[in-house]
Amino acid sequence: MNRDLLPRLLGVFLLLFLLSCIFDPADKVLSLKVYIFLLCWVVTLAICLSSRTQISVPRGLLVYTMLFILVPLYSIVWYWLSNGRAPFAGFDLLKGYVLITLALMLVLSGTELLHRLCAVLTLLALAIIGTFIAVQQMPELLPAMYVFGKQTDMVSVSIRDYGANVRLLHVYFVTSPMLAISIAYYFDRAHSAHQTGKAVFLWSLVAINVTGMLLAGTRNNMLVSVLLPVVLFFYYSRNKAVGALVSLTAVIVLAAVFARELAAFFNPLEASNSTKLAMLDDYARILSDPVNLIFGRGLGAYEDWEGRSVKYVTELTYLDVIRNFGLIGAVLMAGLLLFPVWHAFATNQSRTNKAIAIGFVFYLGMCASNPNLFSSMGILILSVMLSAVFFPGSGKSWLDIGALMPSSLDPDRTLLPRRSS
């Protein structure tokens, strides 16, 4: 068998998986996401078995993966021991956490996925821009696009009224917050380009991704599409004082120009804002129970939110993490989420990885008021970042448990023996 066949096949399946995650996040159009992911794992294992050399698995990544899955598993067991009543959605939500094994897959196969992820995200940005222009030019498309979005859970196209005479066309693809990663990636590439033609092309990709995120229409997207490039500009500035002055000036000017829109966005009486603020009372009620506060209610536990239908996931993601896992599990999950960011800046990582870490911090900020973190969106980004941390040559893993392993094994890596061909 051609030794390049399996890696190429894996590349095709991973590209299909990316397209499925980004353009069919709810898996309602083709319902292929899980099957493609399983195929990716089958091909990865075939690559490992056919390798002429030993395939090593970083122990730190194994420990990270186990912790990331065991915390929600623990919470599910806790739910059945403490409650056990239906309805319950823990096992449905667990699929998002299991996706973290994508990082293992990428390291085992030696696959770099960031470039392809950002290329697919650029297609998403073009889709947002194209849809926005089409609806602007042909308003009669709006009802059809609205129905399409409702049926697929892929996109929400509508005119959103924020009050104070601020009405904006809303072309919100569910995965559009992920554009923070492609903005950071192409910003770094463009800043590092030495050839004029290449630099122009890469800055054009930055502009496309920024525009796509801006036109998505939600407050989070619009704010990040403006603030992320400003922060990256400051980070890449050789003279930090000048960079800080320019960045601060840009923020002040933008805030002055769009003062009316910002006032509408953050008006506590706006429908979405008032709903989230009202939920704070519900969280205070739930977490006032010391058992709930320390151990959590359990992943997928339904709540009877006041004035709203019964739900098991809210848009206040980090309060939901505490509700699901309790303070103990929430602190552990927070550490796991922030580890790639810490690693990018605390170790000798490339500037590209640091730019992606900055983009991920903005993504985490957006997830504070959107349930996009523990889904195929957030875990996909996290897996790609983890694979960069644990690729061979990236340095010792942060979880050195060599003392617990048999002495015959390499002190830094767990080795999987492979047959020779």
Question: So what's the pLDDT on residue 3?
Answer: 67
Average pLDDT (182-210) is 94
What's the alpha-carbon Rg for the chain, to the nearest Å? 23
Residue 42: phi, psi to the nearest 5?
A: -60, -45
DSSP labels, 205-260? HHHHHHHHHHHT--HHHHHHHHHHHHHHHHHH-SSHHHHHHHHHHHHHHHHHHTHH
CA distance 179 to 73: 30
Query: Where is pLDDT greater, at 420 or 196?
Result: 196
- pLDDT given at position 411: 33
Helix and strand counts by DSSP (H, E) for the chain: 17, 4
CB 390 within 8 A of CB 103: yes
Could you report the per-residue pLDDT of 344-392, keeping only the tens digit for each? 998 877 888 899 999 999 999 999 988 888 888 999 999 999 998 887 6
Average pLDDT over the chain, rounded to an integer: 85
Cβ density class 59-86: b for 16+ within 10 Å, e for less: bbbbebbeebbebbbbbbebbeeeeeee
| Gap between the Cα atoms of 292 and 37, Å rounded | 35
Do residues 155 and 149 lie in contact, with contact meaning Cβ atoms separated by under 8 Å?
yes
User: Is the pLDDT score of 219 beyond 80?
Assistant: yes
Helix or strand run (H / E) with residue 413: strand 413-416
User: Could you tell me what percent of the chain has a pLDDT over 70?
Assistant: 91
For residue 411, whether the previous peptide bond is cis, meaning omega lies within 30 degrees of 0, is no
Element (H, E) at 414: strand 413-416
User: Residue 297: which of 124, 85, 10, 47 has the closest Cα?
Assistant: 85
pLDDT digits (tens, 9 = 90+) for 253-301: 888 877 777 787 777 777 777 878 888 888 998 999 999 999 999 998 8
Highest mean predicted confidence (pLDDT) among 51-60, 97-106, 308-317, 372-381 = 97-106
Confidence of residue 131 (pLDDT cuts 50, 70, 90): very high
78-112 pLDDT, tens digit each:
998 887 777 788 888 998 899 999 999 999 998 99
- State how beta strands 413-416 and 55-58 pair: antiparallel
pLDDT value at position 172? 92
Q: What are the pLDDT digits (tens) for 401-412?
A: 232 233 333 333
As a whole-number percent, the residues of the chain with pLDDT over 90 amount to: 53
pLDDT over 80 at 56, yes or no = no
**Lowest mean per-residue pLDDT among 5-14, 306-315, 361-370, 407-416:** 407-416
**Residue 397: pLDDT above 80?**
no
Inform me whether the pLDDT recorded for 113 exceeds 50. yes
Task: Transcribe 10-57 into DSSP letters.
Answer: HHHHHHHHHHHHHH-TTS-SS--HHHHHHHHHHHHHHHHHT-SSPEEE
Give one DSSP letter per residue of 54-67, joined into a string.
PEEEEHHHHHHHHH
Distance CA 159, CA 145 (A): 12
CA-based nearest residue to 34, from 23, 22, 21: 21
Contact 181, 363 (CB under 8 A): yes
User: How far is Cα 40 from Cα 357, in angstroms, rounded to an integer?
Assistant: 26
State the angle between helix axes of 196-215 and 219-236 in degrees (0 to 180), rounded to the nearest 10. Answer: 150
pLDDT at 281: 86
The reported pLDDT for the residue numbered 160 is 81
The CA distance from 135 to 340, in Å, is: 39
Structure confidence at residue 163 (pLDDT): 72
Residue 226 backbone phi and psi in degrees, to 5: -95, -45
pLDDT at 306: 66
| The pLDDT of residue 2 | 60
Per-residue pLDDT, 103: 95
Q: How many residues does the chain have?
A: 421
Q: Of 61-65, 114-118, 304-308, which range is least confident?
A: 304-308
CA 64, 341, 383: angle at the middle one, nearest 5? Answer: 45
